[in-house]
Amino acid sequence: MGEAAVSRTRRPARRVGTALSAALLATALASCTALVPGSPVASGTPGPPPTASAPPTPSGPPPESPRLVPGPPRLSAADAPGLVGRLAATTGPDLAVAVRWAVLPGASALGDRLDERVEQLARDFAAAHGAGWVPAVDVLPGGDIGPCRGASLGTTAGAVLTIDCGIVTAAGPLLGERLTVIRREPGAAASVAREVWYADAATGTVHDGPALYEPGREPRVLGLVAEALRATGRIGIEDPWAGVDPAAARGLLVDSAVTPTGIVVTLPLAGSVVPVSVLVPTRLLQPFLSEAGRSATATAAADEPFAAPAAPAGGDPVDCSFVACVSITFDDGPTGLTPGLLDVLDRTRAPATFFVQGSSVQRNPDTAARIVDSGHEIANHTWGHPDLTKLKDDAAVRREVDRTQAAIREATGVTSRSIRPPYGASDRRVRALVALPFIVWDVDTNDWRDPGADVIVQRAVAESRRGSIVLMHDTHEQTIEAVPSVIAGLRARGFTLATVSAQFGGALPASGLVSHGPR
């Protein structure tokens, strides 16, 4: 599939991979260990951490010849810190789809490629069963608890698609991620397909598993795999892949996992219920590797800790037409409590929208600048917090807004693109005077009454729907205390946090009253 440069903007979903998609269907298995009764996929209960059951990553002295290994490698979350987990789901009367994948922080070519890939698979599956894509929550038990972590769909009537992810390589700037695609149709055995994607965070390149090999040399790689299978009696003297055309050969190598000592190739084998995995030493593969393959194996052999690229905590791209989004918003700051709130948002990589008072920005310009530098959205909440509908002088209304716009611009270098009227109060006259969209809310935590952190959490989490805008204030200690649990609770339901603008694809309505995102 070649390589792609780093992208700084989210592109519309497009078709990704033709030969790969065809090969995946051609190599789909009739069953898989993931569907054994009692497993996470079959039961819908959280499985053990990856390190508890996953085969170890081959390391130590390199093997002299290809050898059979227990299965493909799967690293723990600790081996790839800093990744951003993603979760998308939809349901219908006879349909359930759940997709879990992970991306690098910030905008990246890997994020673009995986977003496009999983969205294509999910939307196509839904369309094939007569359903449109409507993002849903409360589908997977536990929701999003971290990158490539959490429960899978349990036994569900009707057609089911699950896409799960696992990290196979994490060394220096190199990341390798496996997608496992499981399709179940009523009355038929499940089909399973896998593919591995690689990204070099240093160069911004991204490619799939087959791109590790020089085009035309794939049969030689399959020959090395056959050598290990022959040595263990899994096949006879005849090569099961002799005469395979190049496109099919590349399709057989979609699940190629780079390790410090070689590449683990996992592929279906006739007569085997589960796929087989063979570790082929890098030394033997060298003549058959592409430039990308040589770079990946060299980086893995160096065995340096994985280093995710730095990116603002609130700046991760999100497509709210595919995932179920919710916005947490904070009014009346910035205050002395806001830096602590920003610390929480940094730790959890949770974007937020801050509706700031101009007078507070004037007192705390560095905090206002930090809001923007952290990737969050900053917006207008007037200068002195008056009820704009009670200001009979039109010039007074404009002055409240204009002074705040100027203060935000001076402190942060950006121009606010929206306003939240104090108390949510506006009328046609006020909205006609201010050429900005008026953003209110549909979930009010009433945190300003100091009801207790637990009450704030319950209201924010339980009352949210797809597209909700949650009202809180960074002027109350109970709110700051509640925010970590609010974030965790929303993600546990399957929500993705987004700024208010991100809910509208970055383009807010030009004017008018807005109480929630698209639904």
Name the residues annotated as catalytic.
331, 473
**335 touches 448 (CB < 8 A):** no
State the Cα–Cα distance between residues 405 and 371, nearest whole angstrom: 15
**DSSP 3-state of 514:** strand
Angstrom CA distances, 164 to 4, 86, 167, 304, 322, stand at: 23, 10, 11, 26, 16
| Tally of CB atoms within 10 A around 413 | 10
517 touches 325 (CB < 8 A): yes
Annotate 130-157 with DSSP letters as a single string: T------SS-STT---STT-S----S-S
Task: Identify whether the C-beta of residue 269 lies closer than 8 Å to the C-beta of residue 235.
Answer: yes
15-38 CB burial, b ≥16 within 10 A, e <16: ebbeebbebbeebbbeebebeeee
Cα→Cα distances 334→146, 437, 501, Å: 30, 21, 20
DSSP string, 175-210: EEEEEEEEEE-TTS--EEEEEEEEEETTTTEEEEGG
Closest among 174, 266, 173 to 228, alpha carbons compared: 266
- 354: nearest Cα among 333, 325, 323: 333
Strands 325-331 and 262-267: unpaired
The torsion defined by the Cα of 477, 360, 378 and 439, in degrees rounded to 10, comes to 80
Reading the block at residue 162, the tokens are 């699950």
List own/partner pairs for 227-236 with CB under 8 A and 24 or more apart: 227/65, 227/66, 228/65, 228/66, 228/67, 228/68, 228/278, 228/279, 228/280, 229/68, 229/269, 229/276, 229/278, 231/65, 231/66, 231/67, 232/68, 234/68, 234/269, 234/272, 234/276, 235/269
Phi, psi for 296 (deg, rounded to 5):
-65, -45
Residue of 192, 188, 138, 185 whose CA lies nearest to 158? 185
178, 196 in Cβ contact below 8 A?
A: yes
When computed from its CA atoms, the radius of gyration of the chain, rounded to whole angstroms, is 26
